[in-house]
Structure 1
Amino acid sequence: MGIEVRVEGLTKSFGRQTIWQDVSLTLPAGEVSVMLGPSGTGKTVFLKSLIGLLKPEHGRVLVDGVDMARSPERDIMEARKKFGLMFQDGALFGSMNLFDNIAFPLREHTRKKEAEIRRIVMERIELVGLVGAEGKLPGEISGGMRKRAGLARALVLDPEVILCDEPDSGLDPVRTAFISQLLIDLNTRIDATMLIVTHNLDIAATVPDNMGMLFRRELVAFGPREVLLTSREPVVAQFLTASKAGPIGMSEEKDAATLAAEAAAYTPPAEPKALVPQLEPSAGLGERAAVARRRERVRGLLHTLPERAQSAIRAAYGWERSAWAHHGGAS
C-alpha cells in the first residue's frame, strides 16, 4: 500500500516572487489526488518540492518520518526512492529505445542482474500497454505512447507514491481518456498513493478521490473530490465550468479593483451540477482497495464538510441523513 504524505505550512519563493505560501494538506495513503490550478500557479514547483528537488523557504514535507525539506541529504535520497515521477513530456532519452529508457532507474540505482531487470521492465511495459514497442525510439512513437513509457519508468522501482505532472498535456481527448483509465487501473493494481497535477477538467471530474486547487499564491482548498466539485468558491466554480466570469483572467492575475467588482457581481449557481461518477477499474481488476479506506475516512470527517459536499457524499454512498444521524455520524 502507498504511504501518507503530509505537507505542513509550505512556502516557496524564487527571489522576491512568492510562488505559493503556507500550503498544508495530507495525501491519504493509497488514494488518488489531483491538484488543479490555472497555468503559472506553481503546480510543477509543488511536485518538485514534495520530493525535495526544490527547497521551500518555510514548512516541511513528511514522508515516513523524513522531512523532504530539512532532513539530512542521505535520508532524503533514501526517501526519494519511495517516489515515482511521471514528467510532462515523459523525459525519455532520445537515443535509447523504450526498453532501455524504462530500465534506466534499475541499472542506475540497483544491482539487479539483467535477467531480473528484463522481467521487471517487461512487466511494467505490459502494465501500460506497450508490449511490442519496447525496441522503438521515443521519436518513433506517439505522444501518448511516450507518456505511458514515462509512467512505466516511474514504476520500475515499485514506488509507494506516484507523482504525475500533467499526464494529459499534448494529448487529444480520446488519449486523455485512455490515460485517465490507466491511472485508475494502476491504482487498483498497486495501491500506491498518487498525486496528479493537471488543468484538465475531465481528469479532475472523473479520476481523483481528493482534489485541491492552487491560485493566487495559496491553496484554495484540498479535500474529498465532492468538496471542490460542489464548491461555490468563485475561483473554483469558474475553473470547473471554464467560465470567463470570475477571478481568473488572461493575465497572471487580475488587479484588486477588478477582483472586487467581479466578486460583488458574482452569483454562484443555485444548485451544483450532478457529479460525474468516478471512473471504475477496468473489467476483471476488482475494486480499488482505496475505495473502502476512503469511505471510512470520509465518514469520520463528513460533519466538517460544507453542506453541499455532505449531500453529494451521502448520495454517492447511499447514506440517508436520518440513518447517518442515528449512528452518530453527523453533528
Structure 2
Amino acid sequence: MGVEVSVSGLTKSFGSQNIWRDVSLTLPTGEVSALLGPSGTGKSVFLKTLIGLLHPEQGSVIVDGTDITQCSAKELYEIRKLFGVLFQDGALFGSMSLFDNIAFPLREHTKKKEDEVRDIVMEKIDLVGLTGAEDKLPGEISGGMRKRAGLARALVLDPQIILCDEPDSGLDPVRTAYISQLLIDINAQIDATVLVVTHNINIARTIPDNIGMLFRKELVMFGPREVLLTSEQPVVKQFLSGDRFGPIGMSEEKDSAVAAQEEAMAAAGISGGGTKDDFTEIIPQVQPNPGMPERKAIARHRQRVLELLPTLPPDAQEAVRRGMAEEDEIRAENRARDHSGLVPDDAPTAPLRVVGGRTQSV
C-alpha cells in the first residue's frame, strides 16, 4: 500500500533565483496525482526535492512519518527505497544494457538470486513493451524506448510511491495511452501513491484523482481533479485550453502591453488558438484493465469530493455529479464483464481508454 507524502511551506532557490515558495500539499495515500504548470516553473525540481536530491531552504517533506529535510543520510537512504522514480530523460547508465539498468535497484537493494532478478526484470520489460531490446545500450535505442526502460526500472521494486516526470515525453499517442493505463493498473494492484508531472491535458483530465498547478513561483491550486477542471481561475482555464490569451505568456511574467493587446484582440473576436473543448464536462477516469482489482483510492477520493461539492458553483456541482454517474456506470459494466467470464483470467488485455464517457480498447 502507498504512503502519504505531506509537503508544508516548501521554498526552493538556486542562488538568488527563487524557484517556488511556500508550497504546501498532501499526496493522499494510494491516489494518483498530477502536477501541471508552464515550462520552467520548477516541476522537476519539486520531484527531486520530494526524494531528497535537492534540499529546500524552508519547509518540510514528511514521508511515512519522517521529515526527509531533517533526517540523517542513513534514514534518507531507507526512505528512498519507498520510491520508484521515472526521470524526465530516463537517467539510464549509458554503459549498461537495458536489462542491467532495470536490474540495478534489485541488485543494489535486495539479496535476490540472479534467476529471481531475471524473472522480475523480464516481467517489467514485457510490461513496457521492450521485449527483445533488453541487451541494447541506451544509446542504441530511441528516446521513447529509453523513457519506457526508465519506467520499468522505476517499477522493479514495486514501490509504494511512484514519481513520473513527463512519462509521455518522447512517446507517440498510442504508447502514451499504454503508459497511462499501466500506471492505473499498477495503482489498482498495489495501491501505490503516484505523482505525475505532465503537460498532456488528456492525461490530466483522465488519469489523476488530484491535480495541482505551479505558476509564478507558487502553487496555484491542488486538490481533487473535479475542482480544478471546473475552476474559473484564469491561469488554470488558459493552461487547460492551450490558449495564448491569458496570464501565461512566452516568458513567465507577461508584459502588460502584450496583455492589453491580447485583450483587445480577444474582444474583437480574434482566436487565441486554444482548444474549444467543453471543460465543464468531467470526463470519467481511465479504469483498470479487465481482470484487475478495482482501485481502492476511488472510495477515499469520492468521499473527499462529496464533502467539497457544496462549496462549488452550481454548474460545477452538476458536472461533477454527471461525471460520477458515468464512472459508476463504467465500473458496473467492467464488473459485469469480469463476472460473466467473457474475459478469461489469463487472456491478454488491451488498455481501455475513456472516449465520450465510455471505455474503448486501444
Scaled to the shorter chain, the TM-score interval is: 0.7 to 0.9
The 1:302–1:264 alpha-carbon spacing in structure 2 relative to 1, beyond 3 Å, is farther
**1:219 matched to which residue of 2?**
219
- Superposition map of 1:1-331 within 5 A: 1-255=1-255, 272-305=279-312, 307-318=314-325
**Amino acid paired to 2:300:** R
After TM superposition, give the deviation of residue 17 of structure 1 in Å: 1.3
After TM superposition, give the deviation of residue 257 of structure 1 in Å: 6.6
Unaligned runs of 5+ in 2: 268-275, 327-362
Cα pair 1:212 1:222 within 8 Å, conserved: yes
Secondary structure of the residue aligned to 1:76 is helix
The 1:259–1:72 alpha-carbon spacing in structure 2 relative to 1, beyond 3 Å, is farther
Q: Deviations over 1:95-140 (max 9, x none)?
A: 2221111001121223322122222222322333333332232233
**1:326 matched to which residue of 2?**
none
- How does the TM-score come out when normalised to structure 1? 0.88
CA distance in 2, matches of 1:236, 1:187: 27
Cα pair 2:284 2:324 within 8 Å, conserved: no
Q: Deviations over 1:142-185 (max 9, x none)?
A: 33332221111111222100000011112232322222222222
CA distance in 2, matches of 1:22, 1:259: 27
Q: Between the two proteins, what is the percent identity of the paired residues? A: 69
After TM superposition, give the deviation of residue 305 of structure 1 in Å: 4.5
Cα pair 1:234 1:263 within 8 Å, conserved: no
CA distance in 2, matches of 1:225, 1:18: 28
The 1:137–1:304 alpha-carbon spacing in structure 2 relative to 1, beyond 3 Å, is same
Cα pair 1:247 1:262 within 8 Å, conserved: no
After TM superposition, give the deviation of residue 72 of structure 1 in Å: 2.1
The 1:303–1:77 alpha-carbon spacing in structure 2 relative to 1, beyond 3 Å, is farther
Please report the RMSD computed on the Cα atoms of aligned residues, expressed in angstroms: 2.4
**Amino acid paired to 1:212:** G
After TM superposition, give the deviation of residue 245 of structure 1 in Å: 0.5
Unaligned runs of 5+ in 1: 320-331
**Amino acid paired to 1:144:** G
CA distance in 2, matches of 1:134, 1:211: 35
Cα pair 2:283 2:323 within 8 Å, conserved: no
CA distance in 1, matches of 2:10, 2:256: 25
